[in-house]
Each structure stands twice: as structure tokens, then as C-alpha cells.
């Protein structure tokens, strides 16, 4: 046998390094299927809801299993969303690099993975947390994966407004994971995200308008025009600025939160006013980017101010 033939046969044989590399690629694709950056923000707002629900230390079991269950449910919903939207995703520049359109994962593999995550999340929440949290999480999963993705997204330009309820649920889920009930303050956290969602997503829809039109998704810029959409972004941002004062008004948070929220609101209003005056995709893109930072920082302020107040009360009690 010639040396060339031996080298050719050797090259055809799988090496020990090739299998782990393939497994690593698959693991990365499954991870991307869960929309990890979106899930990270969802989980963060749920964790803030947990901490705000309690004046003291959280029960470790409820915190750990609640966080895990909510994260798995959010990942499941994200994967189901990509299975259902796979044809539209393949035609849009923003989404054509996802695992299903690229062929890295088949529809069957993605669906199996999504269902497994969903079942696991429900089992964890029912067995380790409480039934109320499991039920609310299940309704949120169904609301986003099916009611929004299958029906609302393709039926009405108000899809983001109506479907925003599912995306606004995580702080409530975190709250119920610790307390076993839905508190009024948890509903304020829900309302903040609910009102934040339209200006956040419509900013994205502005600079992706042609892509949505191409696949027949009736986003607001497609059905009502860019001027109307920019006005709606401004109006919702004004409403959001008012809603974010509620934690201070109800004494859930203090002055530190209020001052921080006012600064963040000023930034969002700056972008919304600028976008209203200038029909520029670059401004829309920056508005969308700021909106993500805005929500993360706002909830971080809620968390920091909550513990600032608790420490102040503890010091006051110790001294007096």
C-alpha cells in the first residue's frame, strides 16, 4: 500500500479531537437556540422580584430552584419561538444565522430540546417551589410561544402591546416563587416591563421595517408608517417615565431609586424625542440599544435601593 493511500485512509478516520469539537458545536447551537441574552435579562428581572418580595434573607431552595425553573421555561419558550418562526427567520438578516435556518439543528431536534426544557422547568417548579409559580410560568410560556408567536405576531400591529404580558411576567414569577402569592408591588414591576416593551421593540422594528414587510409580519411601521410609530414610541416612553415613579410612590423604593430612575428616564426621553424628530435608522438602533440598558439598570436600582433601605432600618433599630 502506498504512502499516499495510507495518509488518505488515516485522514478519513475520525480523530479523538474531532468528536469533542462536534459536541462542542452542537452544545453551542443548542445554547444559542435559547436566546441566552434575552433569557439573562428575563432571569435578572425575576431575581429582582424575588429579592424585593422579602425583607430578609431568601430561602435558598426557593431562590435556587425558582431561578432555575424560570430560566428553563424562558429558554423553552425561546426555542419554541424559533421552531415556529423558522421560515421567517431564514429570510431576515437579523435571524438567518440562528441554528435552525443555518441547518445546524433540525426542526425535530430543536422541538425535542424545547419540550424537554419545558417539562423539566415545570417539574422543578411544582416539586421544589410552589404550584402557583408553576402555573403562572406555564401560562407565560404558552402565552409567548403560541398565543403571541402563532397568532398575535401575524394578526395585529398591536402584537407587541398585547403579547408583552408574557414578557412582563418574570418579576411576578420571582415574587411568587418566594412568597407563594402575587403582591401589589409585584404587579408594579409587571407594569414597568409591560409599558417598556412597545418602545423597546418598535425601535427595533423601525430599522428592521423592510425585513418585517418582506415576511408579512404586520409590525407597526409596516402597517401604520414610520411617523406614527415614532410618535407611539415617544408617547409610551412618557408613560413609562410616569409608571417608573410608582415604586417610590408606594414606598417600595426610596429617594436613591427615584433619582436614578429620573436620570434613566431622561436618557430614554432624549432618544425618543430625537427619534421622533429624525427618521434615522441609526437613531432607532441606538434607542433600541439604550432601552435594554435602561431596563437592566432600572431593576438594578430597585435591588440596590431595597437593600439600602433594609440596612438603614437595621441600623436604626440597633441604635434606637
What confidence category does residue 10 fall into, taking pLDDT thresholds of 50, 70 and 90?
Answer: very low
Give the mean pLDDT of 66-72. Answer: 97
What confidence category does residue 266 fall into, taking pLDDT thresholds of 50, 70 and 90?
Answer: very high
N-to-C CA span, the chain: 93
**Residue 314 has what pLDDT?**
63
pLDDT at 11 > cutoff 50: no
Give the Å distances, CA to CA, from 124 to 53, 61, 79, 121, 231. Answer: 21, 11, 19, 5, 43
Find out whether 172 and 187 touch, Cβ atoms under 8 Å: yes
Find out whether 149 and 81 touch, Cβ atoms under 8 Å: yes
For the stretch 155-168, pLDDT in tens is: 888 888 888 888 99
Q: Which residues make Cβ contacts (< 8 Å) with residue 283, sequence separation at least 6?
A: 271, 274, 275
**Residue 317 has what pLDDT?**
63
Q: What's the CA gap between 47 and 170, in Å, rounded?
A: 8
pLDDT at 19 > cutoff 60: no
Q: What's the CA gap between 173 and 137, in Å, rounded?
A: 7
For the stretch 195-240, pLDDT in tens is: 999 999 999 999 999 999 999 999 999 999 999 999 999 999 999 9
Give the mean pLDDT of 25-47. Answer: 93
Asked which of 65-79, 114-128, 277-291, 299-313 is least confident by mean pLDDT, the reply is 299-313
Exposed/middle/buried for residue 98 (C-beta within 10 Å: 0-12, 13-18, 19+)? buried
**Residue 307 has what pLDDT?**
85
For the stretch 100-134, pLDDT in tens is: 999 999 999 999 999 999 999 999 999 999 999 99
DSSP string, 126-143: IIII-HHHHHHHHHHHHI
pLDDT at 9 > cutoff 80: no
What confidence category does residue 316 fall into, taking pLDDT thresholds of 50, 70 and 90?
Answer: low
pLDDT at 5 > cutoff 50: no
Q: Name the percent of the chain lying above pLDDT 90.
A: 76
Q: Which is more confidently placed, 277 or 166?
A: 277
Q: Which residues make Cβ contacts (< 8 Å) with residue 13, sequence separation at least 6?
A: none
- Domains of the chain, earliest start first: 25-181 (1.10.357.140), 183-320 (1.20.120)
Copy the grid coordinates of residue 154.
Answer: 401575524
Find out whether 298 and 249 touch, Cβ atoms under 8 Å: no
Amino acid at each position: 500500500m502506498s504512502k499516499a493511500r495510507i495518509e488518505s485512509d488515516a485522514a478519513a478516520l475520525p480523530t479523538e479531537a474531532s468528536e469533542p469539537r462536534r459536541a462542542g458545536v452542537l452544545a453551542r447551537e443548542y445554547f444559542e437556540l435559547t436566546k441566552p441574552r434575552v433569557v439573562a435579562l428575563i432571569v435578572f428581572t425575576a431575581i429582582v422580584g424575588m429579592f424585593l418580595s422579602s425583607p430578609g434573607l431568601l430561602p435558598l431552595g426557593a431562590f435556587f430552584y425558582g431561578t432555575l425553573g424560570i430560566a428553563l421555561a424562558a429558554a423553552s419558550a425561546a426555542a419554541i419561538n424559533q421552531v415556529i418562526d423558522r421560515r421567517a427567520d431564514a429570510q431576515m438578516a437579523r435571524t438567518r444565522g440562528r441554528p435552525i435556518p443555518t441547518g445546524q439543528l433540525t426542526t425535530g431536534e430543536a422541538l425535542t430540546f424545547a419540550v424537554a426544557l419545558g417539562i423539566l422547568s415545570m417539574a422543578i417548579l411544582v416539586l421544589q417551589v410552589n404550584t402557583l409559580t408553576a402555573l403562572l410560568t406555564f401560562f407565560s410560556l404558552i402565552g409567548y410561544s403560541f398565543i403571541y408567536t402563532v397568532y398575535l405576531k401575524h394578526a395585529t400591529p398591536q402584537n407587541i402591546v398585547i403579547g408583552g404580558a408574557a414578557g412582563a411576567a418574570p418579576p411576578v414569577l420571582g415574587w411568587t416563587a418566594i412568597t407563594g402569592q402575587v403582591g401589589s408591588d409585584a404587579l408594579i414591576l409587571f407594569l414597568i416591563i409591560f409599558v417598556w416593551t412597545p418602545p423597546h421593540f418598535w425601535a427595533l422594528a423601525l430599522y428592521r421595517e423592510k425585513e418585517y414587510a418582506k415576511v408579512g409580519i404586520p409590525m407597526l411601521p409596516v402597517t401604520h408608517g414610520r411617523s406614527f410609530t415614532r410618535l407611539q414610541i415617544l408617547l409610551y416612553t412618557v408613560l413609562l417615565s410616569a409608571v417608573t415613579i410608582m415604586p417610590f410612590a408606594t414606598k417600595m423604593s426610596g429617594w436613591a431609586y427615584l433619582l436614578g430612575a429620573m436620570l434613566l428616564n431622561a436618557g430614554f426621553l432624549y432618544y425618543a424625542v430625537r427619534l421622533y424628530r429624525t427618521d434615522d435608522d441609526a437613531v432607532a438602533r441606538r434607542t433600541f440599544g439604550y432601552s435594554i440598558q435602561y431596563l437592566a439598570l432600572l431593576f438594578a436600582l430597585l435591588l440596590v435601593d431595597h437593600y439600602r433601605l433594609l440596612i438603614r432600618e437595621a441600623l436604626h433599630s440597633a441604635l434606637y
